[in-house]
Structure 1
Amino acid sequence: MKLYLTLVITLILGSQFIKAQETSAYTRAIYVTSKDSLPYRLLYPLNYNKHKKYPIVVFLHGSGQRGNDNEAQLIGVPKRLTDSAGRAKYPCFILVPQCSKKDVWVKFPNFPASLETTRLATPSAGLTLTKLDLLIKNLPIDRKRIYVTGYSMGGEGAFDFLSRRPNLFAAAIPICSVSDTAKAGLIYKVPIWAFHGDQDEVNHVKYSRLMITALENHKGKPKYTEYRGVKHNSWTKAYEEPGLFDWLFSQKRR
């Protein structure tokens, strides 16, 4: 069983999300460098005012939404942030990059024997972090309120982004992920609320438990919610968790 595969059902369930999304509200663009490119969508805050500072949320999709159509990655973006009520309550930028079909957000070369990740970020992850830096530089983004979330492969990416830029993110919401527990010492101070279903048949629940324990061993205080009887699609419950986004947007980097 490959770590990076998301169930085919993700696409089926996800299509229901994307039809409900106001995709036209997103800026559609491609970040191009001399070596590579990254399709991405950017949602501006409702009633955007360039003289105000706003938080930004980086959303990382699962493996089933990889490609270059600059559309599929919108599947699963939390409706609580994108519907009219959510946009009014939580005005923020939302960056939604799309990972290349041949790439992943993070690699575990010797999985399952080892949870060690590669020394360098993957091309798609590196491009996303670089694009994020440019957005922070050029838009009125509150540098103390930069957040990352994702599910499955995207949850793995969320943990990896934290470990590569521990002084950048104010908080993270990784869902049904695997992560490099040896990096816990780099990120234990970052507020984290992780989720997993105890019947996950793609990424076993033990991997979230291992990381939570590793963070706690470093005196970190992560939040962790485990859903009984839930399989891999635990993000559908997680993004509806009461108080989740109140918690997220209350976090500020010191």
Structure 2
Amino acid sequence: MSTIRIVIAVIVGGFLFKTSAIPQYFQVGPQVETFYSEIDDSEQPFALYLPENFDPEKPYPLVVMLHGAMSNHRLALRRVFGKTNLPGESDAEASRYFPQWEDVDYIVAAPYARGTMGYVGIPEEDVMAVIEKCRKDFNIDEDRIYLTGLSMGGGGTLYIGLSRPDVFAAIAPVCPALPFEVFDLMENGLNLPIAIFQGGADPVVRPEGTRQIVDELRSLGTLVEYYEYPGVHHDSWANAYANGNIFKWFDGVRRNPFPDRVRFATKWYKYSGAYWVTIDKLTPGTLARIDAEFTDMNQVNVETDNLEAFSLNLKGHPRFNSRQLLSVTIDGQELISSPGFNHAFRKEAGKWISERFIAGVKEKKKGLEGPLSQVVTSRHVYVYGTLNAQGPEEIEIRKKMAEKAADFSVSFGPFYHQRSTVNPRVIADRQVTHFDKYHSNMILFGTKETNSVLAEMADELPLHLENLNDSLGLVYCYPNNGHLVVVSSGLPFWISNKDDQSSGKEIRFGGSHGALALKGMKDFLLFRNSNDNVIVEGYFEHDWTLPQNVLEKFTSNGVNVNENNE
């Protein structure tokens, strides 16, 4: 048993006193720990491994392992150490114990990530929360954090690694089932070593597709090692992780926090840059790019696409002297920036100037940019209305709609259904508290005539569905009290003509069920009969006003547009 002793320093009357808090005990070897998730105010599990001779004062490398679909954190920890199931042993049986394996001088963490939801959105936040938990509890070497995973977790490894390339020293996806969001991020791997493992006869993740990913990454300058196992099916992890292979591959690979060149692409402020480059203004939902490279001491060349402002934090970079001027050439335009560590640039009238962009109070920014799915990636609550209800039966119907939205179950064709471990609150409008209004995102169902929370903020919201016939559905997100609200009026936003899965021809991650249907939607959507039958959809402008080209479509279809948002 290893003990970490926490020391708290307290200043009393000008004197410094040190007192020991309650010691935290961490068992060496495999175990299960938890972290607190604000998404639904829950404790979430993750599997953890500490080396046999664990020393709390020593800095350790961290390996984060992501499990596949229909799996869990306990199995993932076994897999990364090369332990597959015994002959005839089911996953349920294998999850009940940790076998003996060879010790490694790594801390290893395997998030549960809510089951089978992929690794974009809520599970993505859980992965980063586990990393922060490990940083808090242990002495983690920031230049030796690694990410790996299999199948769904292999796709998550590429997505999380490429969206945050400066967090990790290297990543190692195994038979990666990719989310579509990965394909915009390929160029971000310039400074991120990647090892990809694939079965040559995999019927689930076809090797032809994985080879194309390898070729594209290599064409962009990424250092990629590719290992394909002839005749091996989807269980290529048995080969990839055998005999501690993955730890041997990670050995000696360290993150370079100051590469000479940084290339980064993103659609969102949530992923606002990497290494010494930060994107300060873009158009959320539109892919923005920056390519910044030192060409000499204190000389940087920058090329941009769909970008309005950025900054460079060069403290510690070996090719930068803070006492000298910085020459920056941006899209062919040369600027000279004053001495110092931080250098900011923005566009004005189509020209770049050396000046920092400061977002206005009601402009899109990190945490308040949309799209609709963003609302569920932090603390959120589902609110149904009780105004003007014709008795308790109608209230119950409204409640059931909100409960369905809060159900994050996922389905794989007609044969497999799994409940998720996302459990947000579902409450009536009269139960909403001050804390909910100011510390939570809210998904509000109904209209200002049926939901008192909507009625209270009616003058501040941009859209109200006035035509309450049975064929229209309106859903949009909007900032309120420093958080986001989603308004869902008329037909629920998950109603889709694609709900019939009887054919079993495609695997669907619950895309038409409840709040999971928000994934892939923009800031607003007005539809008739089905969310496939779009009347108008799009993004709000940077100041959260509506684009002029959508106003007539809203007003001619029974939606009242607040004049402050025209």
Give the TM-score, by structure 1 length: 0.75
Are the structure 2 counterparts of residues 34 and 220 from structure 1 closer, same or farther at C-alpha, using a change threshold of 3 Å?
closer
Q: 1:25-77 CA deviation, whole Å, 9 max, x = no partner?
A: 333222222323421121112211111110010011111214xxx64444423
Aligned-partner SS, 2:206: coil
- The structural deviation recorded for 1:176 is 0.5
Q: Do structure 1's residue 76 and structure 2's residue 79 form an aligned pair?
A: yes
Structure-2 separation of matches of 1:54 and 1:103:
30
SS at match of 1:231: coil
Q: Which residue does 2:31 correspond to in 1?
A: 27
Structure 2 residues not aligned, in runs of 5+: 1-26, 84-97, 257-566
Per-residue Cα deviation, 1:131-163 (whole angstroms, up to 9, x for no partner)? 212322441111110001111111111111102
Distance change >3 Å, CA 251–CA 214, structure 1 → 2: same
Q: What's the CA shift string for 1:115-146, capped at 9, x where partnerless?
A: xxxxxx32112112122123224411111100
Length, aligned pairs only: 211
Aligned to 1:108: none
Contact 2:59 2:140 in 1 (8 A): yes
Q: 2:33 corresponds to which letter in structure 1?
A: A
Q: Which has the higher contact order (CA 8 A, sep 6+)?
A: 1
Give me the whole-angstrom Cα distance separating, in 2, the residues matched to 1:193 and 1:61: 17
The DSSP-based 3-state class of the residue aligned with 1:181 is helix
Structure-2 separation of matches of 1:194 and 1:142: 24
- What is the correspondence of 1:103-252 to structure 2 with a 5 Å cutoff? 103-105=117-119, 121-179=120-178, 180-240=182-242, 244-252=246-254
SS where residue 251 of structure 2 aligns?
A: helix
Q: Against the structure 1 CA distance between its residues 231 and 130, is the aligned structure 2 distance closer, same or farther, given a 3 Å change threshold?
A: same
Q: Are 1:198 and 1:229, in contact at CA under 8 Å, matched by a contact in 2?
A: yes
1:130 and 1:218 mapped to 2: Cα distance? Answer: 30
Give the SS at the match of 1:188. Answer: helix
Deviations 1:169-211 (A, max 9, x none): 0111101013323311111321111011121111111222122
Q: Relative to structure 1, is the Cα distance of residues 84 and 29 closer, same or farther in structure 2, using a 3 angstrom cutoff?
A: closer
Q: Is the 8 A contact 1:195 1:225 kept in 2?
A: yes
Between the two proteins, what is the percent identity of the paired residues?
Answer: 27
The higher radius of gyration belongs to: 2
Which TM-score applies when normalising by structure 2?
0.35
Does the 8 Å contact 1:177/1:208 carry over to 2?
yes
> Which residue matches 2:68?
62
Amino acid at match of 1:168: V
Structure with more strand by fraction:
2
Q: Secondary structure at the match of 2:242?
A: coil
Query: Whole-Å Cα distance in 1 between the matches of residues 231 and 101 of structure 2?
Result: 30
- Alignment partner of 1:86 out of 97, 102, 106: 102
Whether 1:43 aligns to 2:20 is: no
Partners of 2:76 and 2:245 in 1: CA distance = 25
Structure 2 distance, partners of 1:242, 1:52, is 22
Residue in 1 that maps onto 2:89: none
Structure 1 gaps, min length 5: 1-22, 106-120
